[in-house]
Amino acid sequence: MPTTAPPDRARSGHALITGASSGIGADIAREYARRGKPLVLVARREERLRALADELGGQVPCTVIASDLADPAAPAALFAATSERGIFVDTLVNNAGYGVPGRFLSADWKTHADFLQVLLTSVAELTWRFLPAMEAAGHGRILNVASLAGLVPPTAGHTLYGATKAWLIRFSETLAEEEKGRGIHVTALCPGMTYTEFHDVNGMRAKVAKLPKSIWLSSAEVARLGVDAVESGRRVVVTGRANRMIAGLSKYLPQPLAAALIGAKSKDFRDSD
């Protein structure tokens, strides 16, 4: 089992944030910087990470590590890089992610394999590697950025996205139960529609722009809610009143009715071609 000797005081630990180059990840970094937390910023786009480090470096120490989590070797290399620098990570934010639009068979297997490596396998491995030192220190925070998609009935298109987010929510809940009493909080953050680059990257911006503005939140607000939730020990948090209502309806309505309602609107935010 991997170990890193923790310092005497847990508050000297760093927050490691994957997918920190933009969107919710960058705003989680800003939120932790505002609270005085040293940062390890991780993403593929090193130039963006360095720009963020320049922005936040006057508030807290920032370490930049460029890493592509689609590479199966990346989690171990990332853990080794922090260990070599003597960095104790007491806050792990598993935020890196993206969507693969269209039907399951519309993409090649390498595309799906990379997706699963980033959104599922790397999350489990990074948690497994960094958690022992948190347990040794008696203090830790793990914030897993899931999605409302993991709480609502499935729809056609983006086939693996909702499935991986549902897994991430259950993984977070199970881990939170295991770590109860050890000083470690585990939270699944479940945003709905959020103003980020996510929909530009997956080519869905034109479709989602038709959705009501009332259901959208800024990434800064989502970040604040997520950090507040993990610090207070909440296991699952859905951001925004409208999204909480959608999640509640999905939970309490008869499954066929909930699926029909979600399916009727899915063409506005899912590409199933």
Q: Which residues belong to the active site?
A: 161
What tokens does 252 get? 């309490």
> How far is the CA of 178 from the CAs of 57, 131, 135, 142, 182, in angstroms?
35, 12, 11, 13, 9
Q: At what angle do helices 122-137 and 159-178 cross, to 10 degrees?
A: 20
User: 17: which residues sit within 8 A by CB, 6+ positions away?
Assistant: 25, 28, 29, 32, 39, 40, 41, 42, 93, 95
Query: What ranges in the chain are assigned the alpha helix state H?
Result: 23-34, 46-56, 74-84, 109-116, 122-137, 159-178, 198-201, 205-208, 219-232, 241-252, 255-265
- Specify the amino acid at residue 4: T
Question: Greatest CA span in the chain, whole angstroms?
Answer: 55
**Length of the chain in residues, anyone?**
273
| Amino acid identity, position 272 | S
